[in-house]
Structure 1
């Protein structure tokens, strides 16, 4: 099962220029996505979900579980 792109079309970085304001990905993670292996995509999705406090479903057959954590601060 392919990991869907987390992109939602809101293209803006936070005030520090570090994270996507919509999904919490870094520029490196955004740039890596098109050529990333399925394992790397799942890792990016897990890290960004933890970064933003959004849970992600575990891949089918996986023994990994993901928990929600504190949301990253967003500029107002």
Structure 2
């Protein structure tokens, strides 16, 4: 639920800039997080850094969106 809300917020903030390449980058990261082999899954710090890079490539200021989620009482796990 949080990831969906987070991505929706990125899309709304990024508008048309939230393109296919960014979605594939995020999907690749998500799939690596689900790998059956523990040693192949990225550490959470690496996940947070990659998400931050995706945000920066979009020019999205997501802190406003995270604050909005927190005000709604939702937990936000992204750095």
TM-score range, shorter chain: 0.3 to 0.5
Query: Of Structure 1 and Structure 2, which has the larger fraction of its residues in helix?
Result: 2
Structure ranking higher on relative contact order (CA contacts 8 Å, 6+ apart): 2
TM-score (ref. length: structure 2): 0.36
